[in-house]
Amino acid sequence: MQDSLSFAKERLEKKGFLDIDVDPTLDLEEAITRLKKEKNMILLAHYYQESEIQDLADYVGDSLQLAQMAERTDADIIVFAGVHFMAETAKILNPKKKVLLPDLKAGCSLAESCPAPVFKKFKEQHPDHVVVSYINCTAALKTLTDIVCTSSNAKYVINSVPEDTPIIFAPDKNLGAYLQKETGRENMILWNGACMVHEIFSHEKIVKLKLRHPEAKFIAHPECEPHLLEIADYIGSTSGLLRFTQESDAKEFIVATEAGILHQMQLKSPDKTFIPAPPNNMCACNDCPHMKLNTLEKLYLCMEHELPEIHIDPAIIERAKLPIDRMMEISEKAGL
Ligand code: 13P
Ligand code: SF4
């Protein structure tokens, strides 16, 4: 084991995760539960994780809720079952704690769409603008940001900026366009990024599905394209969508977001039916390939060996924390 461990450590940077064979007879659920206790670890999971990971987590939530949990925890180690920007945010909020991510290559198409050096030049062309960045971005981009937001607090964040102050919103153009419409802000420039998962839905197939299920509510995440949001009965963050399905009298829902959320919807409302919105390709699923890089085996290895760990330059942490703190204050005031 020691040999394979040192070999795996050497290859960690290239692979992104500890590539070690796990005994197939090992009860991974039992091992993960034991490690959490033994090492005083908190396991945070996003709604888009595999259901088996969600079921083991101490807390399952959306991007804001997970950041809030990471900020409040007194655990010694934070294990983040999510993507890189989420674990980075947890580290920025807890620079002294060890933050682990089962696979460092679990990225995000939105974060990738907005490289900090390119954005810096763009920002320099608009020196009078306030920069609001969606949390789905790198720590480097957060250092160029005035206020961070998530999909559940974005309207409050935009409304916190004086009306006559122009805004650069990065990196999600769909969320940005939705916010422009909702808040009536015209002085907002949008970065041209998008989420690969939320841009895959087929308008045509959804319209047909709605006709076949006339009683079903069509609900969508604001990362979806405007023409889809136009036909939605409800638009909200993952936690908002989940809440809506619990509170609504409807019995059937067509859900336009990553399919992992359906697990919690079904758990919370076992008598209701949830139909994943169909994508516009031949593939039947709308899984996020980044989120789904985390597996139970990688999670176990990461907790056992406390690797891979998130490391961020302290100067970046110091600057990137400011816009996150502002977001946290706005969220608290809004009761989120
Ligand atoms: P929320 O967690 O804010 O709903 O965002 C969804 C998402 O795409 C996370 O990557
Ligand atoms: Fe990024 Fe989209 Fe995956 Fe969320 S679902 S992590 S926004 S690529």
Taking only the tens place, the pLDDT of each residue in 137-152 is: 999 999 999 999 999 9
Q: Which two tokens stand for residue 118?
A: 């390119």
Residue 67 Cα to ligand 1 midpoint, Å, equals 12
Please check whether residue 284 lies inside any domain of the structure.
no
* Closest-lying ligand 2 atom to the alpha carbon of residue 109: 8
The residue type of 81 is: A
Please check whether residue 282 lies inside any domain of the structure.
no
Residue 159 DSSP SS3: helix
The answer on 175 and 117 residing in a single domain is yes
Residue 183 Cα to ligand 2 midpoint, Å, equals 24
| Mean pLDDT value across residues 59-68 | 98
CATH of residue 250's domain is 3.40.50.10800
The answer on 328 and 189 residing in a single domain is yes
The answer on 173 and 30 residing in a single domain is no
Q: C-alpha 141: how far from its chain's center?
A: 16
Residue 261 DSSP SS3: helix
8 A C-beta contact, residue 144 and residue 119: yes
Q: Which residues line ligand 2 (CB under 6 A)?
A: 48, 83, 108-110, 136, 195-197, 258, 288, 290-291
Sign for the pseudo-dihedral over CA of 199, 201, 207, 210: negative
Please check whether residue 14 lies inside any domain of the structure.
yes
The answer on 99 and 130 residing in a single domain is no
23-51: per-residue pLDDT in tens?
999 999 999 999 999 999 999 999 999 99
Please check whether residue 61 lies inside any domain of the structure.
yes
- Which structural domain, as residue segments, surrounds residue 296? 2-107+290-311
50 lines ligand 1 (CB under 6 A): no
The answer on 139 and 162 residing in a single domain is yes
Please check whether residue 153 lies inside any domain of the structure.
yes
Please check whether residue 285 lies inside any domain of the structure.
no
Contacts of 10 (CB under 8 A, 6+ apart): none
Q: What ligand has the least distance to the C-alpha of 154? A: 1
- Checking if the pLDDT of 3 tops 80, the result is no
8 A C-beta contact, residue 200 and residue 166: no
Q: C-alpha 242: how far from its chain's center?
A: 15
8 A C-beta contact, residue 316 and residue 109: no
Residue 15 Cα to ligand 1 midpoint, Å, equals 25
The answer on 88 and 32 residing in a single domain is yes
Please check whether residue 166 lies inside any domain of the structure.
yes
Residue 272 Cα to ligand 2 midpoint, Å, equals 26
The residue written with tokens 């959306």 in the block is 62
Number of structural domains (the chain) is 3
237 lines ligand 1 (CB under 6 A): yes
The answer on 83 and 67 residing in a single domain is yes
8 A C-beta contact, residue 242 and residue 265: yes
136 lines ligand 1 (CB under 6 A): yes
The answer on 61 and 8 residing in a single domain is yes
For the stretch 187-190, contacts whose Cβ atoms lie closer than 8 Å and that sit 24 or more positions apart, written own/partner, are 188/158, 189/126, 189/129
Residue 266 Cα to ligand 2 midpoint, Å, equals 22
Q: 40-70 burial, b for 16+ CB within 10 Å, e for fewer?
A: ebbbbbbbbbbeebbebbeebbbbbbbbbbb
The answer on 327 and 306 residing in a single domain is no
Q: What ligand has the least distance to the C-alpha of 108? A: 2
Contacts of 212 (CB under 8 A, 6+ apart): none
Indicate the helix (H) or strand (E) that contains 323. helix 314-333
CB atoms within 10 A of CB 192: 11
Ligand 2 binding pocket mutation candidate from 199, 288, 293 (most atoms within 8 A of CB): 288
271-296: per-residue pLDDT in tens?
999 999 999 876 667 899 999 999 99
pLDDT number for residue 281: 73
pLDDT band at residue 2 using 50, 70 and 90 as cut-offs: low
pLDDT number for residue 285: 73
Residue 239 Cα to ligand 1 midpoint, Å, equals 9
Q: Which two tokens stand for residue 213?
A: 């299920």
- Checking if the pLDDT of 1 tops 70, the result is no
The answer on 186 and 127 residing in a single domain is yes
Residue 2 Cα to ligand 2 midpoint, Å, equals 35
CA distance 224 to 242: 16
Please check whether residue 294 lies inside any domain of the structure.
yes
pLDDT number for residue 283: 66
CA distance 271 to 252: 9
The answer on 182 and 147 residing in a single domain is yes
The answer on 89 and 36 residing in a single domain is yes
293-325: per-residue pLDDT in tens?
999 999 999 999 999 999 999 999 999 999 999
8 A C-beta contact, residue 58 and residue 42: yes
Reported pTM? 0.96
Ligand 2 binding pocket mutation candidate from 63, 135, 136 (most atoms within 8 A of CB): 136
> Bridge-partner residues for 131, per DSSP?
168
